[in-house]
Structure formats: structure tokens, C-alpha cells
Amino acid sequence: MLDLTLANQTAAVTMSSINFLNEIINPARISAGEKEVENRHFIARIEDELDDLGGAETFYVTTTQGATRKVKGYTLTMEQMTLVGMRESKAVRRSVLEKLRRLQEGKILPSNYIEALESLLKSEKEKVVIAAERDRAIETKAWIGHRREATAMATASVAVRERNKLAERLGESKSRATVLAVERATERKFRWQPLKKWCKENKIEPHTAPDERYGTVRSWPATAWLAVYDIDLSKLL
């Protein structure tokens, strides 16, 4: 695993020269068909390339035989690793610089695993909240639409009932009508007595309609209006 230090999002990327050799340089050389570089030769290259290396660090490595030996190494910055990598052949150099670029881009990642999980959790929670708000808005819009439709239908129904009631009260019907209703429709005057006479002769009882002025008035049948005054209620009202 790479020994990569990210103290925070703005921290410089650093790596030990041993890891730089084993994880980046030598794998790139192998892929390009070149021999691996030993650490002592790699250290010589570093010291030859870089003027200001700071203090050297000593690393303790356990061999496969169980013995320990001291291995010299340096902590390198991104700029220093780039300069050292430029000494490689074209094929190796391309691979090394690409890996360093990816490491550099890694600076924008969270500094530890817990922060990464917290960031992911926060993002998912925000998605859930946004989805819930969207669904609630859609449901509210649909509910408002249904309510408006129901209100409009109820209003229309009330209007129809009121109109029918008024028509019934004034006799504004195709089957019968009061004198007042026909007078309003024709702007003429009519006497009710001839209508009563016709109904009596034909043994037809006229209907009674409510009236605000007189309490009730007679609503005469359409046949009487047609016979007496030649008024066709189906065309008039």
C-alpha cells in the first residue's frame, strides 16, 4: 500500500523514496520491459538529481530470512518525485507521471475513511430529502388540482340547481310557464283568464308555482299557451 500522506485537503503530497521506487518506478519499468532498479542505485539517482533533500531518513526492513537491515531513504514531495521520474526512459516516464498526476488529484478526497463515509451518507440523505420534497410537491399539486375540479363541479351543480329552481319558480319550463315568465320573454302583456278558461274546458289543472310577491301563482301548460296565444314554450323559454 502506498505511504501517501494527506493531512488535509490543502496538504502537500509526500511519499517515501522506497515506496516511490517499489510502487511506481519499478512497476513502470517492468511494464516497459526494463530491469528493476535497486534501492541503493535509486538513492544515488535521487541525490544526483536533487540539491536540497533535507534530512535523510533511515528505514528498518525485515528480510524474508527474518534478519533486519538498515535501508536509506528520503521523504519526497510531488515536485521531487516528478524530477526524479523525468530521468526515466520515455515509456517509463509517461507511466510514472500519470501515476503522480492521479496521486495529486487524490488531494481533493477526504483525509480519512470515516470522513468519506460521512460525506457519502450526507449526499445520500440530501438525495432522499430532495426526492421526498419532489414527491410531496407532486402530490400537493395533484391534490390541489382534484380539489379545484371538485369545487368547480360542485359550483356548477349548485348553479344548475339554482337555475332549475328559479325556472320552476317563475314557470320557465318547456311544459308550462307563468304569465310573468312569458311576458318577460316576449315583452308583451297577457291575460290569465283565457288560459284558465281553456284549461277548464279541457279539464286540465294548472300547476302552482311559488312567487315572492303573491306567495303562489298559476303556471299554465304549454298546450294552453299554444292554443290561446300561439306561444310555443319550447322555442320561447
User: For the segment 185-202, what is each residue's pLDDT rounded down to a tens digit?
Assistant: 888 999 999 999 999 999
Residue 234 pLDDT > 80, yes or no?
Answer: yes
Is 216 domain-assigned?
A: yes
- DSSP letter assigned to residue 89: -
Is 120 domain-assigned?
A: no
Pick the range with the lowest mean pLDDT from 20-29, 156-165, 189-198.
156-165
Residue 108 pLDDT > 80, yes or no?
Answer: no
Is 35 domain-assigned?
A: yes
Residue 56 pLDDT > 60, yes or no?
Answer: no
**DSSP H stretches of helix in 26-89:** 26-31, 39-49, 78-85
Residue 7 pLDDT > 70, yes or no?
Answer: no
Is 26 domain-assigned?
A: yes
pLDDT, one tens digit per residue, over 136-151 is 888 887 778 777 877 7
Which of 63, 80, 106 terminates a domain? The answer is 106
Which of 80, 106, 132 terminates a domain? The answer is 106
229 confidence band (pLDDT: 50, 70, 90): very high
55 confidence band (pLDDT: 50, 70, 90): low
Residue 27 shares a structural domain with residue 102: yes
Domain holding 85, by residue range, is 14-106
Is 126 domain-assigned?
A: no
Which of 65, 86, 106 terminates a domain? The answer is 106
Pick the range with the lowest mean pLDDT from 43-52, 186-195, 224-233.
43-52
Name the domain count of the chain: 2
Give the pLDDT confidence score for residue 27 in this predicted structure.
94
125 confidence band (pLDDT: 50, 70, 90): confident
Mean pLDDT score of the chain: 78
**134 exposed, middle or buried (CB, 10 Å; 0-12, 13-18, 19+)?**
exposed
Give the pLDDT confidence score for residue 117 in this predicted structure.
65
Is 39 domain-assigned?
A: yes
Average pLDDT over residues 226-231: 92
